[in-house]
Amino acid sequence: MSAVCPHLEDDIWKSSAVDLGAAVRRREVSAVDLVNASLDRIDEHDGDLKAFVTVDREQAIADAAAVDRDLAQGHCRGPLHGIPVGIKDNTLTKGLRTTFGSKVHAHTVPDVDDLCVARLKAAGAIVIGKTNTPEFGCGALCTNELQGPTANPYNLAYTSGGSSGGSAAAVCAGLVPLAQGTDFGGSVRTPASFCGIVGLRPTPGRVPIASGALAWSTMNTHGILARNVRDAALMLEVMSGEDLRDPLSSGRDVWRQQAGCSANGGVRVACSADLNFAPIDARVRAVFDTAVKRMQQLPLEIRPDTPDCTGATKAFETLRAVSLYHSHSRLCRDHRDECSSSFVWNVERGQGISAQQYVDAEAMRTRIYRRFAEFFQRYDFLVTPSAAVPPFPNSQTDVDSIDGNVMANIIDYLRITYIVSLVGFPALSIPCGWTKEGFPIGLQIIAAPFREDRLVEFGAMLEQKLGFAHRWPDIAAAGRDAVAEPRVAAATPMS
């Protein structure tokens, strides 16, 4: 602990957002101190990580000085007063370049903030910059023509995951304590798994999307990347709450109060490595099985079971393709030569899908949702792996096979996460173990809609009781051994 600030780590960039916020409010440390610590960490490591596309250095320092003045005058803006955050570069930020990972928007500077960004700023958060993403969030690698590939902090030759990989790497390596992401088919949970941190995809509507063209769409959500569950709960508290522009939006709660540590009996947990339909790498399955065995040490009612996912693949791929075609077909047509092949493939899959096919997909989604709803009458939580594969080399463009089994297409490996997006349940990814090669593996915890309170309570309990938690990477070693086994700071293994 710091001799100056006994509640904080010696290196303040290692401290949690909750502890940093409390220290700022006690005036033991300033917002300018926190921003400078983040900027120094970015200067030291982001040349290798490439987690940020844009760093808003001067504005971040000015904003930090402003919130420090507010506090000196007795005004605290909110629970994130003075906390540095990263914003994914497909999310609008007023006056700050937002590229969507695309050359087409290389110089785009929005004149408004997305609602979630506005809420973060209103709560006192300081936007450090924009984190990397594949073009319009479409891609297994976190790379584009402007920046990347973003490196995994545990081995710089490997990927941080798509598509919120910049946010995940920045949080894992201590560049920022919190970062925003987006999740359509697993774009928060996959990078959280790859980078050994917490990733939260809330129920659609919990964090309103006030500017989306398809207001009733439920598959794409804002999400949260943090190093512990309590920090994720704090960020969710700030970003959530009703907004009339989003017809799905719902109320706010104080989730960080639920992120305690309890292991009461009677909690019913279903577990499945693959939901009987998702391809899962054997290394992931081995870590998951060990994590489940460790969970059985707690007073939980755990049994293998899964909801029926029949029809999910066709339904998700149809609905996703239509959504992307609606949003991007004109841009893809007018700027095709400037777009990545992965992005073009994703968009053009929606061309020619008929109204009947679309309605059939919605009907199938309804049936699957009701199977999940019935399943959660019998269980409080469903746990699965957070990603089908461990991190893979940045030289590998896509996941085209798993354990020798060829994938049907470049998004097929996302089944274990996109089924949750399809039905619209909230999910939390926490680290649960390591492969023999030293890569982190995530545990995906799924709860019933709008039960984020139970989700963060259960996740925090596993984090604290079983040590399912983030470990600091040795970035210097990760660079030296970028083609060999990744290294982590010394710690007792989770598995």
Q: Which amino acids are annotated catalytic?
A: 88, 163, 187
CA angle 166–170–173, rounded 5-degree value = 135
CA–CA separation, 415 and 82 (whole Å): 38
Please tell me the distance from the alpha carbon of residue 468 to that of residue 490, in angstroms, as a whole number: 15
How far, in whole angstroms, is CA 487 from its chain's centroid? Answer: 23
Burial of 472 (0-12, 13-18, 19+ CB in 10 A): middle
Query: Is-contact 229 452, C-beta < 8 A?
Result: no
Amino acid at 362: E
Instruction: Please tell me the number of Cα atoms within 13 Å of 222 on its side-chain side.
Output: 32
Nearest residue to 19 via CA among 9, 31, 30, 11: 9
Query: What's CA 147's distance to the chain center, in Å?
Result: 19
User: Which run of H or of E encompasses 286?
Assistant: helix 282-295
> Among 169, 167, 159, which Cα is nearest to 196's?
169
Cis peptide before 486 (omega within 30 of 0): no
Tokens 């490996």, residue located: 413
Report helix angle 312-334 to 341-348, nearest 10.
120
In the DSSP assignment, the letter for residue 351 is T
150 to 83, 86, 185, 211: CA distances (angstroms): 23, 14, 19, 28
CA–CA dist 153, 327 (Å, integer): 33
Number of helical (H) and strand (E) elements in the chain, helices listed first: 14, 15
Q: Which phi and psi angles does 114 have, rounded to 5°?
A: -60, 150
**Helix or strand (DSSP H, E) at 133:** none
Pairing of strands 267-271, 381-385: parallel
DSSP state of 12: G
Residues 424, 140: contact at Cβ < 8 Å?
no
